[in-house]
């Protein structure tokens, strides 16, 4: 037992240490890719300044120094949590990460919630009614969820539930009055739902939840499609395993076989996939956030890209890479704890 | 460089429909504003072989997705004459902005004025070192530009402006196409928007009222974006709209009046043989944070614009300002490089004109938005009491304001920033906002107007759209042939069709270089090449 626990700790420590080269490679790739296009000042201001002004700006910002010197300085900044300041709106990227990052994280959490609530029960249902109408229907929906572009789903949801039926707001994270009231509370967490709960006002909480429904659904259905297929396949595989056959032979009722044995085992791959899904959700959030005026990292990243604000883009992409690497590590930890088949 | 027009997107099927219509014949240039016979004659007289091949660059992501349809229509009109073969090219905005002055022989441009004066549509484009860098230079034009800029007699100046435009129509370095209207969509119980959609092109919140209730807060929406609250760090519509609500100016625009009137100033006049523009500042003014507001703040504001000269800022507008002096706390003297500059009062009321608190804004560095809000460094009609950049701003009336914009007629305002105009359209329809200003697409505006749930308010617009020729690399073997090609293009375009079919009359034909509604405007181009 002690040996096994020691091996687990060694495994986790190794995974933790591996984050450092992973992030280092990601940061380096982002930095050098950005420099291939040119220095950030020329990229952003090239047509607006004379060559002399441009050179002066490059010099004052240090972009006329050797790339490796700039790279070393950038690495030291990143280590200190300083991702620079954007050219286009003069905001510190660390501030952007806090304010817009919180919005994106909130959206991703809502989307995962939708994915779980939709994906897991439907996947289970599809496996339960294997190759019957319910299974075929659910599988078709799963493909549709996964294949339909998130902005298209978002547009349809908006047209139906907001424009046509008027049940839900079409955009934003809260109504104007609610957002201002939450801002007036002071010391905002930037998580709208947390701020609403802190206010203790039921109307504010309801307003924030109503605003989250459509974007969370649009983004969550994408992942739900994957979950449905994953749960279904794993449940079917598990149902064919020896221990399930043995359980049935022991007279365990079918419902218990499904819920206690097949279902629990089928959930394990979901944890693994979740790690990868976080990267997918962060990527897809650009479209969701733009569609629903959800001012998160994805939205601001698209704005900086359009402005060719490469300092901002570099900072945000680096931060996203770090988040994805850390998420992968956390998923590895959870996997190691819940899945005895993971070898370490 | 002036702020270009904001996006005015159109639905893709409209563009497709227009293409189908034009492919099916549509409206021939000869039964509309264009004059094909004249175009043919001009090219024949200059010995230009036809069809002339034109590579026409445009940019839909900056000048609005309706540009696709606009330029498809222009191509169709030009090719229908049989005189031109047009190749349309499009590239993303930053590259377009960088390459247009060097690489593009013919290209689209939009212009939103820095201030509402004829000169702002002329000097930037047609002076020797114009910002287009298109190789245009003409002694007579330069002479007339100097004359209009320093002529203090309005009637005499208008005569110069008229002659100048007739002269320019002989060269046609740019082809004026369309003039935009200001459009705001409002809730049915909202009034006062018509008072601000005037020829000063400033959107003020102060005169807007909802439900006839002077305490109601007005909710406004826009797709514009803020670059910076610091006036030295931004030069765009989104930022300037905020500046206009919260900062004082030496001179400003009273609703309904496109000529600058005193804001912080009590009075201003040219002195020292026109070499100095001297203003007396009102006594007893304070910033919302309690700091004293006087002539020292004015000098500080202009000095720091020149010192910082940020690439995103408007300091280029101060080209004619040599220095600022402050002989006492209530007097400020602007010493000019060229005397009797009649546009200088307009410059004081332009994006370079917001006055900032010299206790909050350092002389040589920009201030972050949140620091400005925290310092409450405002003295315009409103102060900002809540600020989320490009998301939501809360404006609270400033009771101490006594300037050009007049008394605030509402209980405050909020400004919500949209990434997508379709979301703004939905929210104005659903009553989530009271006013949608800049920019809904022409099709959205038409649909909203037809729906009857909202009011559409229009006012004169200063935004213009035109085609620019780079004289150095445009088609044509000789200077005479190049002029002939430019004139023939001017004669072949039907502006009415562009205004009606593409922009649903949210734009009107632009028949000269100075847009209709401003002193000095005429119809020199349409008079010469048809299209009236």
- Taking CA–CA distances from B239, the nearest residue in chain A reads A89
Alpha carbon distance A343, A13 (integer Å): 14
Alpha carbon distance A234, A238 (integer Å): 6
Residue A6 placed within a domain: no
Name every chain B residue with its beta carbon within 8 A of the beta carbon of A180.
386, 392, 394, 414
How far A296 CA lies from chain B's nearest CA (Å)? 11
Alpha carbon distance A221, A241 (integer Å): 30
Q: Is B435 helix (H, G, I), strand (E, B) or coil?
A: strand
Instruction: State the Cα angle at A244 between A241 and A249, rounded to 5°.
Output: 125
Burial class for A76, CB neighbours closer than 10 Å (0-12, 13-18, 19+) = exposed
Instruction: Count CB pairs under 8 A between chains A and B.
Output: 91
Q: What is the mean pLDDT of chain B?
A: 90
**How do the residues of chain A divide into helix, strand and coil, expressed in percent and rounded to 5?**
80, 0, 20
Stated as kind and residue range, the H or E segment containing B440 is none
The reply to whether A89 touches chain B by the CB within 8 Å rule is yes
- Is A295 close to B391, i.e. CB distance below 8 A? yes
On the CB side of A152, how many CA atoms lie within 13 Å of its CA? 7
Burial class for A171, CB neighbours closer than 10 Å (0-12, 13-18, 19+) = buried
Distances from the Cα of B302 to the Cα of B232, B272, B347, B367, angstroms: 9, 20, 11, 15
Burial class for B475, CB neighbours closer than 10 Å (0-12, 13-18, 19+) = middle
Alpha carbon distance A55, B257 (integer Å): 43
Q: Is the peptide bond before B51 cis (omega within 30 degrees of 0)?
A: yes
Alpha carbon distance B47, B53 (integer Å): 15
Residue A50 placed within a domain: yes
Q: Residues for chain A: how many in total?
A: 344
pLDDT by 10s per residue, chain A, length 344? 445 677 778 888 888 888 888 888 888 988 888 777 677 777 666 556 667 777 777 777 777 788 888 889 888 988 888 888 888 788 889 989 998 999 999 999 999 999 999 998 999 899 888 889 999 999 999 999 888 888 899 999 999 999 899 899 999 999 999 999 998 887 788 899 999 999 999 999 999 999 999 999 999 998 899 889 888 988 888 888 888 888 888 888 878 877 777 777 777 777 777 777 777 777 777 888 988 999 999 889 888 887 778 888 888 888 888 888 888 888 888 877 776 666 55
- Is B101 close to A290, i.e. CB distance below 8 A? no
Tell me how far the alpha carbon of residue A203 is from its chain's centroid. 28
Alpha carbon distance B346, A158 (integer Å): 45
- Is B423 close to A89, i.e. CB distance below 8 A? no
> What would the pLDDT profile of B492-502 be if each residue is shown by its tens digit?
999 999 999 99
Residue A2 placed within a domain: no
Dihedral sign computed on CA atoms, order B380, B381, B387, B393: negative
Alpha carbon distance B403, B253 (integer Å): 9
State the CB neighbour count (10 A cutoff) for residue B451. Answer: 9
Residue A36, φ and ψ in degrees, nearest 5: -60, -35
Residue A7 placed within a domain: no
Name every chain B residue with its beta carbon within 8 A of the beta carbon of A47.
94, 97-101
Q: Residue B58 in contact with residue B502, Cβ under 8 Å? A: no
Q: Residue B446 in contact with residue B504, Cβ under 8 Å? A: yes
Q: Residue B327 in contact with residue B222, Cβ under 8 Å? A: no
Name every chain A residue with its beta carbon within 8 A of the beta carbon of B94.
43-44, 46-47, 307-308
Stated as kind and residue range, the H or E segment containing B396 is strand B392-397
The reply to whether A218 touches chain B by the CB within 8 Å rule is no
pLDDT of residue B482: 97
Provide DSSP, B24-37: T--S-GGGTT--HH
Residue B228: which of A45, A48, A90 has the nearest Cβ? A90
Start-to-end Cα distance in chain B: 30
- CATH no. for residue A97? 1.10.3720.10
State the CB neighbour count (10 A cutoff) for residue B131. Answer: 13
Residue A8 placed within a domain: no
Residue A317 placed within a domain: yes
pLDDT of residue B10: 33
> What would the pLDDT profile of A259-270 be if each residue is shown by its tens digit?
777 777 777 777
Q: Is B392 helix (H, G, I), strand (E, B) or coil?
A: strand
Alpha carbon distance B3, B62 (integer Å): 11
Distances from the Cα of B230 to the Cα of B222, B244, B348, angstroms: 20, 12, 16
Q: Is the peptide bond before B192 cis (omega within 30 degrees of 0)?
A: no
Residue A5 placed within a domain: no
- pLDDT confidence band for B506 (50 / 70 / 90): confident
Residue A130, φ and ψ in degrees, nearest 5: -50, 125
The reply to whether A90 touches chain B by the CB within 8 Å rule is yes
State the virtual CA torsion across A316, A318, A319, A320 in degrees, nearest 10.
90
pLDDT of residue B51: 96
**Into how many domains does chain A fold?**
1
Question: Can you give the residue range of the structural domain that contains A153?
Answer: 15-343
pLDDT of residue B11: 32
Alpha carbon distance B520, B514 (integer Å): 7
What is the mean predicted confidence (pLDDT) over B33-61? Answer: 92
Name every chain B residue with its beta carbon within 8 A of the beta carbon of A183.
386, 388, 394
> What would the pLDDT profile of B135-150 be if each residue is shown by its tens digit?
999 999 999 999 999 9
pLDDT at residue B310 greater than cutoff 90: no
The ipTM, to two decimals, is 0.80
Residue A256 placed within a domain: yes
Residue B419: which of A88, A169, A290 has the nearest Cβ? A290
């Amino acid at each position: 037992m002690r040996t096994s626990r020691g091996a687990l700790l060694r495994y986790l420590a190794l995974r933790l240490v591996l984050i450092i080269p992973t992030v280092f490679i990601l940061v380096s790739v982002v930095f050098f890719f950005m420099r291939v296009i040119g220095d950030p000042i020329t990229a952003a201001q090239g047509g607006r300044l004379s060559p002399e002004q441009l050179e002066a700006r490059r010099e004052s910002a240090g972009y006329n120094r050797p790339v490796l010197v700039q790279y070393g300085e950038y690495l030291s900044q990143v280590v200190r949590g300083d991702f620079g300041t954007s050219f286009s709106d003069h905001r510190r990227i660390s501030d952007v990460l806090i304010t817009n990052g919180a919005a994106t994280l909130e959206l991703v959490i809502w989307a995962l919630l939708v994915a779980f609530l939709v994906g897991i029960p439907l996947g289970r249902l599809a496996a339960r009614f294997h190759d019957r109408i319910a299974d075929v229907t659910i599988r078709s929906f799963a493909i549709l969820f996964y294949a339909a572009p998130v902005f298209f789903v978002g547009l349809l949801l908006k047209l139906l539930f907001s424009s046509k039926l008027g049940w839900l707001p079409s955009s934003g994270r809260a109504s104007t009055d609610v957002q201002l009231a939450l801002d007036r509370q002071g010391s905002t967490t930037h998580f709208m739902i947390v701020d609403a709960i802190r206010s203790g006002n039921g109307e504010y909480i309801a307003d924030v939840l109503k605003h989250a429904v459509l974007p969370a659904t649009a983004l969550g259905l994408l992942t739900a499609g994957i979950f449905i297929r994953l749960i279904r396949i794993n449940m079917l595989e598990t149902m064919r395993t020896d221990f399930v056959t043995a359980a049935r032979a022991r007279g365990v009722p079918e419902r218990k076989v499904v819920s206690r044995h097949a279902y629990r085992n089928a959930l394990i791959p979901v944890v693994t996939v979740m790690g990868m899904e976080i990267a997918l959700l962060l990527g897809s959030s650009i479209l969701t956030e733009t569609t629903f005026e959800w001012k998160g990292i994805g939205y601001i990243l698209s704005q900086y890209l359009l402005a060719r604000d490469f300092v901002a883009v570099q900072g945000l992409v680096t931060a996203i890479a770090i988040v994805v690497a850390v998420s992968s590590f956390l998923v590895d930890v959870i996997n190691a704890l819940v899945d005895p088949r993971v070898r370490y | 460089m002036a702020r270009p027009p904001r996006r005015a997107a159109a639905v893709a099927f409209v563009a497709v429909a227009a293409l189908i219509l034009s492919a099916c014949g549509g409206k021939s240039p000869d039964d509309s504003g264009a004059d094909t016979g004249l175009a043919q004659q001009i090219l024949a007289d200059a010995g230009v072989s036809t069809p002339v091949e034109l590579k026409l660059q445009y940019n839909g992501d900056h000048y609005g997705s309706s540009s696709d349809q606009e330029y498809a229509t222009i191509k169709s009109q030009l090719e229908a004459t049989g005189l031109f073969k047009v190749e349309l090219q499009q590239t993303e905005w930053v590259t377009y902005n960088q390459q247009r002055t060097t690489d593009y022989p013919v290209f689209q441009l939009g212009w939103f004025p820095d201030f509402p004066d004829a000169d702002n549509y002329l000097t930037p484009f047609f002076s020797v070192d114009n910002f287009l860098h298109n190789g245009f230079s003409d002694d007579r034009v330069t002479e007339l530009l100097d004359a209009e800029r320093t002529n203090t007699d309005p009637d005499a100046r208008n005569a110069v402006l008229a002659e100048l435009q007739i002269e320019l129509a002989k060269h046609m370095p740019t082809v004026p196409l369309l003039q935009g209207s200001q459009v705001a969509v409002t809730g049915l119980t909202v009034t006062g928007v018509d008072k601000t959609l005037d020829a000063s092109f400033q959107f003020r919140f102060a005169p807007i009222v909802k439900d006839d209730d002077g305490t109601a807060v007005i909710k406004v929406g826009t797709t514009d974006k803020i670059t910076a609250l610091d006036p030295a760090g931004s030069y765009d519509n989104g930022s300037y709209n905020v500046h206009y609500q919260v900062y004082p100016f030496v001179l400003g625009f009273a609703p309904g009046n496109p000529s600058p009137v005193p804001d912080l100033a009590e009075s201003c006049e040219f002195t020292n043989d026109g070499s100095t523009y001297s203003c007396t500042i009102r006594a007893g003014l304070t910033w919302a944070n309690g700091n004293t507001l006087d002539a020292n703040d004015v000098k500080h504001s202009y000095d720091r614009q020149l010192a910082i000269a940020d690439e995103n800022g408007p300091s280029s507008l101060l080209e004619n300002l040599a220095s600022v002096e402050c002989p006492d706390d209530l007097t400020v003297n602007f010493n000019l490089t060229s005397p009797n500059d009649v546009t200088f009062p307009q410059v004081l009321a332009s994006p370079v004109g917001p006055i900032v608190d010299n206790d909050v804004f350092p002389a040589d560095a920009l201030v972050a938005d949140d620091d400005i809000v925290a310092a409450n460094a405002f003295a315009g009609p409103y102060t900002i009491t809540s600020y989320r950049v490009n998301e939501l701003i809360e404006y609270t009336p400033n009771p101490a304001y006594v300037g050009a914009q007049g008394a605030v007629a509402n209980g405050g305002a909020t400004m919500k920033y949209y990434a997508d105009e379709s979301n703004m359209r939905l929210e104005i329809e659903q009553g989530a906002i009271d006013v949608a200003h800049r920019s809904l697409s022409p099709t959205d505006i038409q649909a909203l107007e037809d729906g009857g749930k909202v009011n559409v308010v229009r006012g004169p617009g200063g935004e213009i759209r035109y085609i620019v020729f780079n004289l150095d690399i445009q088609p044509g073997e000789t200077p005479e042939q190049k002029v002939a090609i430019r004139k023939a293009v001017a004669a072949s375009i039907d502006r009415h069709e562009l205004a009606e079919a593409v922009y649903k009359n949210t734009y009107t034909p632009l028949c000269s270089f100075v847009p209709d509604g401003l002193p000095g405007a005429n119809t020199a181009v349409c008079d010469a090449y048809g299209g009236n």
